Amino acid sequence: MKKKSSLLLFAFLFILLSCESQSDKSELKLDFSKIIPDKDQAEGINYDTLAVLSSTPETALLDSMAKDFIRQWEIKGMSIAVSYYGKLVYAKGFGWADEERKIPVKPHHLFRIASASKLVTAVGIMHLIEQGKFTLDSKVFGENGILKRYNAWIADKTMYGITIRHLLTHTAGWWNYLLTDPMFVPVQIAQIMQTPSPPPFDSVMRFMLSQKKVFTPGSFYDYSNFGYCVLGKVIEEVSGKDYETFMRENILAPMGIRRMRIGKSRYEERFSNEVKYYVADNTPQNLSIYPPHDSASRAYEGTYIQGLGAAGGWIASSVDMLRFLSYIDNWDTPKDFLSKESINEMTLQDADSTQIQRALGWKRISPEKWWRTGNLASSNISLSRRNDGYAWVVITNTGSWRASFFPYEIEGFMTRALQKVKFKEQDLFKYTK
C-alpha cells in the first residue's frame, strides 16, 4: 500500500510539472528522494507537494533562517506560510510536530492559534452585521439587548451600555474581584459558582455579570478574553447554532477551509494531524481543570482550551490561516468574503490622542501592515498582511519564556526574511482545495 501511494504521488507530481511553462521547469528542481507520502493526509490533499513546490534556490535562505530561529528559541516545531497578493507562494514546516515520535512538521499540521481566534470571531460578527442581524452599536444586554435573557444575572446596570463594538475593541469595562482573566481560572470559577469543573460558559457569564463594580463602557482599554467569549454567545443567539458550527459552516467552509475547529485540553483528545504541544523550561504548572485537580502541564489539562472558544480555542494550519486572511485582505484575489466597508471598519487605525482601540479583531493596524498575534503557554502565532502585497503566518507548538512578547520575535524574524528572500510566482492554494 505504501509503495502504491508513493507511485501515485510521483505520477501526480509528473503531471503537475508537465503543466508548468518551460521557464518554470528550468527554475524548479525537485529531489524526489525527499518526498515521503504522509500516512495521514487531510481531505485527500497531498500537503507534501506544497513543501516541495516551495523549495527553490531563493527560498533556501528562508529555510536556513527558520532552522536557526527554532534552534535559538528552543522551539520544537514551527509552520510558515507566505502569500503574495492572495496567492500562496510558500508553505513549509520545521522541527517536530511530535518530538518523541519523530514526526516532522508539515504544512498540513494543525496548531492552536490562541488569540488569533479573535480575528476569526470578529469576521463572524461582521458577517452577521452585513446580514442585518444587528449593528456595531447594538446593545448586548438590557431590555432590547441581544442577550437580554441574561439580564436577571446583572448586578450593575452599567453593563446595559455595552455594545458589540465595545466587546470587539476590549472596552466593555469588565471587572471581577479575582482581579484576573476569568477564562484562565476555571477551577476557581467552578468552586465559586458551585458547579463541576471545567465550568460551562454560562457559569463564567453568571460570575462576571454578578460583579457590582464595572467601568463605563468605552472609557478605557482592557484586553478581555471573556468579552470575545460573550461575542461567541451573541453569534449563537442570533444564528440559532452553536458557535463552532456556525463559524465552520457559514464562515470557514465558504472560504474553502474545512479542518479548522475548536481544540481540546487533553492530549488523548487531540485531532488527526494536530501537533503535540510543549511548554518552555521552568514553566509553572496549573491545577488540572479536571478532578481531582492535581498539578498539570499548561500544555494540556492545565489550560481550558475549549473554554477559550471564540477568544482563543481554534486550531488551524498556517495554510488555513493564510487562506482565511486572503479573504479579508482587501486585495482582489480571491474575492473578499466581507465587503470593503466591513474590512475598512475592522482596520481603523487607533487615534493618536487616545489609547482606545479602534481595530476589530486585529491587534495592531498601521499604514505598513495589519497584525494579529496569539500566545499560550503551549503555542505562539503571528500573522501579518503587509501593504507591499505580502502576507504571512507563523505558528509554533512550543511556549516561550518571552510569553506574550514572543510573537514580536516572530515578526522580527519574518521582516528580516522578507527583506532577503524572493519567491517563485505561483499559487499553491490551488493544491489545497
Residue 406: CATH number of its domain? 3.40.710.10
Say if 244 falls within a structural domain.
Answer: yes
> Do 260 and 168 form a contact (C-beta atoms < 8 A)?
no
Say which residue the cell 479536571 belongs to: 290
CA separation, residue 356 to residues 166, 171, 218, 343 (Å): 10, 7, 8, 19
CA-CA-CA-CA torsion sign (329, 333, 339, 344): positive
Say if 39 falls within a structural domain.
Answer: no
**Burial of 152 from C-beta contacts in 10 A (0-12 / 13-18 / 19+):** exposed
Q: At what angle do helices 225-239 and 117-130 cross, to 10 degrees?
A: 40
Say if 15 falls within a structural domain.
Answer: no
- CB contact set of 139 (below 8 Å; sequence gap of 6+): 145, 146, 160, 161, 162, 163
> Do 247 and 229 form a contact (C-beta atoms < 8 A)?
no
- CB contact set of 119 (below 8 Å; sequence gap of 6+): 324, 361, 362, 372
pLDDT in tens, the chain (433 residues): 444 444 444 444 444 444 433 333 333 333 323 332 333 344 445 677 888 999 999 999 999 999 999 999 999 999 999 999 999 999 999 999 999 999 999 999 999 999 999 999 999 999 999 999 999 999 999 999 999 999 999 999 999 999 999 999 999 999 999 999 999 999 999 999 999 999 999 999 999 999 988 899 999 899 999 999 999 999 999 999 999 999 999 999 999 999 999 999 999 999 999 999 999 999 999 999 999 999 999 999 999 999 999 999 999 999 999 999 999 999 999 999 999 999 999 999 876 545 567 899 999 999 999 999 999 999 999 999 999 999 999 999 999 999 889 999 999 999 999 999 999 999 999 888 6
Say which residue the cell 465587503 belongs to: 339
d(CA 272, CA 424): 31
Say if 386 falls within a structural domain.
Answer: yes
Residue 267 has a pLDDT of 97
d(CA 22, CA 363): 43
C-alpha cell belonging to residue 45: 490533499
CB atoms within 10 A of CB 29: 9
Say if 216 falls within a structural domain.
Answer: yes
Say if 37 falls within a structural domain.
Answer: no
Give the total number of structural domains in the chain: 1
Say if 246 falls within a structural domain.
Answer: yes
**Domain span at residue 149?**
45-431
> Do 214 and 156 form a contact (C-beta atoms < 8 A)?
yes
Q: Is 361 left (phi over 0), alpha (psi -120 to 50) or beta?
A: left
The candidate with the shortest Cα–Cα distance to 139, out of 237, 222, 71, is 237
C-alpha cell belonging to residue 96: 517536530
| pTM, two decimal places | 0.89
Q: How many CA atoms are closer than 13 Å to the CA of 260, on its beta-carbon side?
A: 34
Residue 43 has a pLDDT of 46
> Do 356 and 221 form a contact (C-beta atoms < 8 A)?
yes
Say if 36 falls within a structural domain.
Answer: no
* Secondary structure percentages of the chain, helix, strand, coil, to 5: 40, 15, 45
> Do 312 and 377 form a contact (C-beta atoms < 8 A)?
no
Residue 174 has a pLDDT of 95
Supply the DSSP string of 323-365, one letter for each residue: HHHHTSSSSSSS--SS-HHHHHHHTPPPPTT------SS-SEE
Query: In this structure, what DSSP letter does residue 287 have?
Result: E
